[in-house]
Chain A
Amino acid sequence: MTLLEFMPFIVLIPLIASGIVALLPGRNLPWLVTLLAATASAVIAAVVLPAAISEPALSYPFGNWPPPFGIEYRVDAANAFVALLVSGMAAITLLWAPKSVASEIHGRLGTFYALFLLALAGLLGITLTGDAFNVFVFLEISSLATYTLIAYGKDRRALLAAFRYLIMGTVGATFLLIGIAFLYMVTGTLNMADLAERLPELRDNNAVRAALAFIIVGMGLKLALLPLHLWLPNAYAYAPNFVTVFLAGTATKVALYVMLRFIFTVFSPDYSFVVLPLSTVLMVLAVAGMFAGSWVAMFQIHLKRMLAYSSIAQVGYMVLGVSLATATGLTAAFLHLFNHALIKTALFMAIGCVMYRTGSAKLDDLRGLGRQMPWTLTAFALAGLSIIGVPTTAGFISKWYLVLASIEAGAWWLVVLVLITSLMAVYYIWRVIEAAWFSERPAGAAPVPEAPLALLVPTWLVVALNFYFGLDTRLTVGASMAAADALLGSGAGLP
């Protein structure tokens, strides 16, 4: 089998495995199979990435129906990079999963892990497919699975959060579908590459413009771009910890990828950025998101909610890179997409460890815990450095590129805004450190043991990755640049 024939298995393995896992009895066996499936996907994705960077694009026709008639999987640097991120984060978070899931979900776990695999397969499918309608199908697969996963949360509010997410997510998916339908109506094709060839002739068609608007709003919803972020804080806060950890690292990232794919590949930037005031709209929303997210995070006392709002701010950074519509800006967006996944996963894992022992993620219940769970909270503090953007951490690298891109675009004021929001991050991370180390344990509180190694080891692994990718930037910067190039097309002119 050639590399090309392997590639679809990134999606197929989790998809097929989910059917098997659903039937497996007990609690450990489903997890093991899930882990194997996710790892297999990640390995294939890791093998595919170098090929996708060096070659123009790998195309795999499903069922040997040649595109544009059949469904095509089309892999270039951009989606190979995202696929590696998603499958890799899935594998790592699965290592962390067993202890955490055991404390939150009772009974057999076959269904739970089957749903997890479905969500994973959906996300990977969205990433790899070259067919617009297929994107919608996989989006629904992953979304429906995700709603259910969130509803597994111990807190009864999880049900409401999942329901709200369901409504909003469906609105978003429907918008995407409407957009795709408009495109199909005027071009008669669903293949993205084919669409990209036919659309330039239809520059003045109102349906095409409406399609772009619908797709951007739909994906903006899934991406939690302010002001479409309202579903996210509750969904993250009340989902089981393992689900939060996984979603925080992957779901919004894939939504951003879809948005970029449509803006840059399907519509091409000299259409999207000209027809709609996209640069301005995205920049305003991104900056507003950076500020509003950080601002609210500064006052949250539920730490999972705090991190969720921080995620909204971080999405702002990514979209800010996109709004500059330059190669460096896109590179920054992709870098932050990758690095933020590492950062947030580490932070949520650390909070998950705390919740495993104390059952609470309230800031007040964290007081004085630094001495009783030093490894957990040190991990949190180190990952916190990364989200602030201290040099030698991954967070620094993406902010560095974002600042570079802003300067390159002549927008010095953006640099100032990025720095101010970084300072806000210092504040909300410091609150946790202050509570953990500089406050006394409340009188009468029971002593808490350190989190078990099964949780600590994966947490520290992700923390270590944060520092590794802060120092060795060859993989991340290289792949991000290649991804940006792939989206912009070789030498495509920009407005």
Chain B
Amino acid sequence: MIDWLHPSLVLILGAAVLPLLPTGLRKAWMVLVPVTGLAVIFGLEPGEFGRVEFLGMTLVTGRVDELSLVFAYVFGIILVIGMIFALHVKDNVQHVAALTYAASALGAVLAGDLVTLYVFWELMVITSVWLIWRRGTEVSFASGMRYLIVHALGGVLLLAGVIVYYQTTGSIAFDQIEPASAAFYLILAAFLINAAVPPLHAWLSDAYPEATVTGAVFLSALTTKTAVYVLMRGYAGVELLMWLGVIMTWYGVVYAVLANDIRRILAYHIISQVGYMVCAVGMGTTLALNGASAHAFTHILYKALLFMGAGAVIHMTGKSKLTDLGGLYRYMPWTFLLFMVGAVSISGLPLFSGFVSKTIIIEAAAVEGRGLIYLMLLTAGAGTFLSIGLKLAWFTFLHRDSGLRPTEAPVNMLVAMGLAAVLCFVIGILPGPLYAILPAPIDYNAWTIGHVLKELQLLLFTGLAFFLLLGFVGGKNKIALDVDWLYRGGGRTAALAVRDRISATNARFRHKAMDGLSAWMARIKKRHGRDGKLARTWPTGSMAFWVAVLLASLLVFGIQQQ
């Protein structure tokens, strides 16, 4: 009798079977597997399950409590929506990667110990990179490679941290991590890389815009939010995070204003929105942590919706730059409408989901009496509305006619976007069920006159400013330098000059060394190669000789001892 079924297992098994199915059945399977997974998630009971004995350690593969459940629910929901959005894609690799990626994110969220967490953490990287590579362009390959390298580094940091943690505390349980040893910083660094905290964020804005149209939906939902979850679990109340979070909210907004690629704008806004959550984790009060969970939940839905809208545009037009787009609302009215639901949700417009979650975090800052934080979080919201609700929407769907004549997006895309939009709206007007599943009981009402007025004022004046300054805020077809400049682009050019210098001076030296080495290699091959001394087939006599030598030496030793 199975009393505990790990939802990740369901998804991984489903993914394994998927490529074997005939095309017709595959589409049904692509919906059935995530729905089954979601059903299993909703059936989870609080407790610790799936204990595995491994090398003297007890691994807990399933820790179900209020905190992990919030994330598990929304991961399950977004997987269903994302798979529907990807139904028309014929590339099995992407589907398998998406399912296993979601499975590993779920596994990480349900992990009760650091070893299990590490395993799923690495699996997430290995599976998600395919969602970038399968775009099939050279840019996406290079970008995926950088993504892989950065996350491999994060994985190594995490592993090192886990080992140090185990050695100093003798436990692998994953709970609040005390700043007692180097493990605290190692694990924190690994988590911060995944949470895309500047200056460790550049992988995100680099890779997500280059991902496949459907893959970006999963990417936007899973990796950073898993990082938010682990930060909540291990680093709640670490003051450093609060400041990092506030910086993130603004960092993302500023770069989003400068960006031109529609999905790059959205990617920078992930950083900005995750900033709210990281900041809340740093505050660490019950209200703030509730706010972080709630915001993660709503953020996943509306951000996926935005990525789906942008993806639909790219899928239908083949263009992704604001300067190439415009006037699409006439040809893709549904996409436009659904995208706007996401846009106003992220901006925190009352009636939509962002409003009911973001305000909790801002309220938490106010309750704590942190004036500067409060102000910065509040005003970053204006920047969000400016670049997504206004700039992105205006220059993509309205504005001048770009000459593009796309048709409406495929039905499955619209259905997936519709599902997400409905959820955004329902949560916005009826936040009760969301509040009920938060980690701690919450007594908070978003719908006070104060909150509503404050948000409306902010948004209205932002809107006013936008239209007054319309000529200046449009996308420019330029490159905005970010930290990744250090390991590509300009930094590389500078490095190249230095490298040429160095290589010129050491070329001669290396040449000599290589000559020496290859001569050495040739000698080794000659002596130890296929027919080298050790590998030669010896005549029976010499075998017998060795037998005699060994026996004689043993006997001499043995009898000498008398």
Contact = CB atoms under 8 A, between A and B. Distances in A.
**B is a partner of A:** yes
Contacts of B537: 230, 233-234
A169 B53 CA distance: 43
Interface of A: 164, 167-168, 171-172, 175, 204, 206, 209-210, 212-214, 216-217, 220-221, 227-228, 230-231, 233-234, 275-277, 281, 292, 295-296, 299-302, 305, 309, 397, 400, 471, 473-474
A227 B528 CA distance: 16
Interface of B is mostly: helix
B540 A473 contact: no
Nearest to A392: B119
Contacts of B542: 230
Contact of B558 (A228, A275, A305, A474): A275
B551 A212 contact: no
A299 B530 contact: yes
B93 to A, nearest CB: 14
A234 B543 CA distance: 13
A473 B557 contact: no
Contacts of A220: 550
Contact of A471 (B54, B529, B554, B558): B54
Interface string B32-56: 0000000000000000000011110
Contacts of B555: 209-210, 213
B472 interface: no
Interface string B528-562: 11101011011010111011011101110111011
A213 B554 contact: yes
B400 interface: no
A479 to B, nearest CB: 15
Nearest to B554: A213
B557 to A, nearest CB: 5
A231 B529 CA distance: 19
A171 B55 contact: no
B554 A227 contact: no
19 contacts: A175-B551, A206-B558, A206-B562, A210-B559, A213-B551, A214-B551, A216-B554, A217-B550, A227-B546, A228-B547, A228-B550, A230-B538, A230-B542, A230-B543, A230-B546, A233-B535, A292-B534, A299-B535, A397-B55
B499 interface: no
A281 B554 contact: yes
B525 interface: yes
Nearest to B537: A234
Contacts of A474: 53
Nearest to A231: B543
Given A212-B558, A217-B550, A228-B546, A167 B540 contact: yes
B493 to A, nearest CB: 31
A382 to B, nearest CB: 15
Nearest to B529: A299
B54 A473 contact: yes
A309 B535 contact: yes
Q: Is the interface of A mostly helix, strand, loop or mixed?
A: helix
A172 B540 CA distance: 13
A220 B554 CA distance: 12
Given A209-B555, A220-B550, 18 more contacts: A168-B544, A175-B547, A206-B558, A212-B558, A213-B551, A213-B555, A217-B554, A227-B550, A228-B543, A228-B546, A230-B542, A276-B554, A292-B534, A295-B528, A299-B528, A299-B529, A397-B55, A474-B53
A276 B534 contact: no
Given A213-B558, A471-B54, A473-B55, A300 B535 contact: yes
A230 B53 CA distance: 41
B561 A296 contact: no
B547 A296 contact: no
A150 to B, nearest CB: 15
Q: Which 6 A-B pairs have the closest CB atoms?
A: A213-B554, A209-B558, A227-B546, A296-B535, A230-B543, A217-B551
Nearest to B548: A217
A301 B531 CA distance: 10
Contacts of B52: 471
Contacts of A164: 540, 543
Contacts of B538: 230
Nearest to A391: B119
Nearest to A220: B550
Contact of A301 (B55, B530, B553): B530
A305 B532 CA distance: 13
B479 to A, nearest CB: 35
A295 B534 contact: yes
A276 B557 contact: yes
